Structure 1
Amino acid sequence: MSHASPPTAPDPGRSVPAPHAPHWDERESLDVGSAPVPEYGTGSLADLLPTLAAGMEVPGTTVAMTELTAADRNCVFLIDGLGWQQLREHPHEAPFMTSLLASSRGGTGRPITAGYPATTATSLASVGTGLPPGAHGLPGYTVRDPETDELMNQLRWTPWTAPRAWQPYPTVFQLAAEAGVHTAQVSSPAFETTPLTQVALSGGTFHGRLSGEERMDLAAEQLAAGDRSLVYTYYAEVDGKGHRFGIDSDAWRGQLMYVDRLVQRLAEQLPPRTALYVTADHGMIDIPFDEQHRIDFDEDWELRAGVALLGGEGRARHVYAVPGAEADVLTCWREVLGEQFWVASRDEAIAAGWFGPTVDERVYARIGDVVAAARDDVLIIASEREPKESEMVGNHGSMTPVEQLVPLLEVRT
Structure 2
Amino acid sequence: MTQPTAWEHPEPLAVSSAPVPAYGTGSLADLLPTLAAGMGVPGMTSVIPELTPADRVCVFLVDGLGWEQLRAHPEDAPFLTSLLGSSRGGTGRPLTAGYPATTAASLASVGTGLPPGAHGLAGYTVRNPDTGELMNQLRWHPYTDPHAWQPYPTVFQLAEQAGVHAAQVSSPAFETTPLTRVALSGGTFLGRLSGEDRIDCAAEQLAAGDRSLVYTYYSELDGAGHRYGVDSDTWRGQLMTVDRLAQRLADQLPPRSVLYVTADHGMIDVPFDEQHRIDFDADWELRAGVALLGGEGRARHVYAVPGAEEDVLTCWREVLGEQFWVASREEAVAAGWFGPHIDDRVYARIGDVVAAARDDVLIIASEREPKESTMVGNHGSMTPAEQLVPLLEVRS
By the TM > 0.5 criterion, same fold?
yes
Give the counterpart of 2:136 among 141, 146, 153.
153
Paired residue for 2:195?
212
Q: What amino acid is aligned across from residue 56 of structure 2 in structure 1?
A: R
TM-score with structure 1 setting the length: 0.93
1:4-403 superposed matches below 5 A: 30-403=13-386
Q: What percentage of aligned pairs have identical amino acids?
A: 85
Q: Is the 8 A contact 2:12 2:322 kept in 1?
A: no
**Gapped regions of structure 1 (runs ≥ 5):** 1-27
Letter in structure 2 aligned against 1:183:
A
Pairs aligned (count):
386
Q: Secondary structure at the match of 2:285?
A: helix
SS at match of 1:277: strand
Distance 1:195 1:104 in 2: 39
Residue 387 of structure 1 aligns to a residue in which SS?
A: coil
Instruction: Give the Cα separation in 2 of the matches to 1:29 and 1:93.
Output: 39
Please give the alpha-carbon distance, in whole angstroms, between the structure 2 residues aligned to 1:371 and 1:394: 21
Structure 2 spans left out of the alignment, 5+ residues: 1-10
Q: Give the residue type in structure 2 aligned to 1:373.
A: A
Cα deviation code 1:190-238 (max 9, x no counterpart): 0000000000000000000000000000000000000000000000010
How far off is 1:146 after superposition?
Answer: 0.1
Contact 2:12 2:318 in 1 (8 A): no
Give CA-to-partner distance per residue, 1:351-402, whole Å, 9 cap, x none.
0000000000000000000000000000000000000000000000000000
2:102–2:264: 8 Å Cα contact kept in structure 1?
A: yes
> What SS is found at the alignment partner of 2:215?
strand
Deviations 1:41-73 (A, max 9, x none): 010000000000000100111111111100000
Question: In structure 1, how many angstroms separate the alpha carbons of the residues matched to 2:194 and 2:384?
Answer: 31
Report how far residue 281 of structure 1 moved.
0.2
Residue 268 of structure 1: how far off its partner (Å): 0.2
Deviations 1:134-179 (A, max 9, x none): 0000000000000000000000000000000000000000000011
**RMSD, aligned CA:** 0.8
Q: Which residue of 1 aligns with 2:387?
A: 404
Q: C-alpha offsets along residues 259-300 of structure 1, whole Å, 9 cap, x if unaligned? A: 100000000000010110000000000000000000000000
Give, in angstroms, the shift of residue 338 of structure 1.
2.5
Give the Cα separation in 2 of the matches to 1:157 and 1:129: 18
Structure 2: distance between partners of 1:367 and 1:336: 21
- Residue 29 of structure 1 deviates from its aligned partner by 8.7
TM-score, scaled to structure 2: 0.97
In structure 2, give the amino acid aligned to 1:366.
R
